[in-house]
Structure 1
C-alpha cells in the first residue's frame, strides 16, 4: 500500500522516503559553489558596486510569466536577471482558498529553503502573510491555503516553477545573502507599464494592487 503526503508542491509516496532528509542546504551550496559563484559575481559586477547587495528582490509577474531579480545597494536598485516562469495555474487574481490552484499576489518574505524538494530545490514564501490572513478572517475563509514555493522543475500547481538551473542560482543567492535580505513581490501585471484597474472587487484587492504598484514604481524610479 502506498501512503501519500499532499502539499501544494509535492505528492510523496513511501518509495520517496529515501530522498527525504538526504542532504542539507550546506551540502547543496558546497556542490553548487564552483558553478554558481561566478554567475553571482557577474550579476554583482553589473551593478558597478562591490560586495553582496543589501537586499535582493524577486518580482514574479504573472501575466508575462517572468521573474525578475533585483539587487539593492543603499537606495539604488538594479535588475540583474530575468527568469521565465515555466508553469502557471489558476488565473490572474489573488489566492483565496486551499486548493484553488491560484498563485498568490502580494509582498512576501521567505520562511526557509528546502534542499530536498521533490521539485529539486525550493524556497517557501510566507503565504498567507498578515494582509492575506486579515482579509481571509474578514471573509470567513478558514483555509486560505499554504505551502507556496519558488521551485525547480517545469510543472506546478499554485507555486512558481522556474526550472532546475534557475533555481540553483536563486537558491544559492538566497542562502549566501540570507533569507532576511530577500523580498518577494508577486503581481498580476507589470504596474510600471500599466495602471491599476480603476475598479477591482473586492475593495481589498484594489488596495493590494495599489501596494504592488507602489513597490513596482520604486523599482522603476530608482533603477540604475
Structure 2
C-alpha cells in the first residue's frame, strides 16, 4: 500500500515540476516576474489605509494596510512614537527571514529626519518596513487591517506580501502621505 501511494504521488508531482512545487512548499519567494510586472512607484495613503503599486502611471495592485499604532497621527518624529513616516523614501533592502512574513525596508530616516530629531535631542527611530503578519499569525490575514498594530511599519496580509515582494525591487521609490 505504501509503495502504491508513493508511486502515485511521484506520477503526479514529477510532470508538474518538482522544483516549482517544492519551492512553494518550502515557502520561499518564487523567481521575480518579468520587468513589465515590476512596480516603479509605491504610494501609501495613510488616511485611507491603502497602498498602491504603480508602473508607468498604471496601478498594478492595491492593498488594505495597517499602520503604526498611532495611526495617521502625522509624520514619525522619534523612536517609539508608533507613527508611520511620511514623505518620499526608497525600498533599500529586503529581509526574507524577518520576524514577520517577508519584509521590505523603507529608507527612513533620511538626512532631514535625522536633523529634525537631533534638533529635538531625540533618536529618529528606524527599521521601518512593509511586511506581512508576524510569523505564525498568517491566519489573521483577513482581519489584519481592522486596527493599526505595528510600531510604525506598513503591514499587509502574507499573500499580499508575497505579491509585493515579487513586484518591488530594491531602489523602488515609496511616497507616504
TM-score (norm 1): 0.55
Q: In the aligned structure 2, how far is the partner of 1:129 from the partner of 1:102?
A: 16
**Preserved contact between residue 96 and residue 141 of structure 1 (Cα < 8 Å):** no
Q: In the aligned structure 2, how far is the partner of 1:144 from the partner of 1:134?
A: 9
Q: In the aligned structure 2, how far is the partner of 1:128 from the partner of 1:87?
A: 17
Q: Residue 162 of structure 1: which of 145, 156, 160 is its match?
A: 156
Q: How is 1:1-224 mapped onto 2 (pairs within 5 angstroms)?
A: 28-29=28-29, 32-33=30-31, 37=33, 51-52=35-36, 56-72=40-56, 77-90=57-70, 91-137=72-118, 139-153=119-133, 154=144, 155-174=149-168, 178-180=169-171, 182-187=172-177
* Partner in structure 2 of residue 15 of structure 1: none
Q: RCO (CA 8 Å, sep 6+): is it higher in 1 or 2?
A: 2
Q: In the aligned structure 2, how far is the partner of 1:141 from the partner of 1:185?
A: 26
Measured on the aligned residues, the alpha-carbon RMSD in Å equals 2.2
Q: In the aligned structure 1, how far is the partner of 2:101 from the partner of 2:38?
A: 27
Structure 1 residue runs of 5 or longer lacking an equivalent are 1-26, 42-50, 188-224
**Preserved contact between residue 37 and residue 167 of structure 2 (Cα < 8 Å):** no
Deviation at 1:111, TM superposition (A): 2.0
Cα-to-partner distance string for 1:106-158 (whole Å, 9 max, x where unaligned): 10012211000121100011110122123223x23330111100000134221
Q: In the aligned structure 2, how far is the partner of 1:126 from the partner of 1:52?
A: 24
Q: Report SS of the residue matched to 2:40.
A: strand
TM-score (norm 2): 0.68
Q: In the aligned structure 1, how far is the partner of 2:157 from the partner of 2:112?
A: 29
Higher Cα Rg, which structure: 2
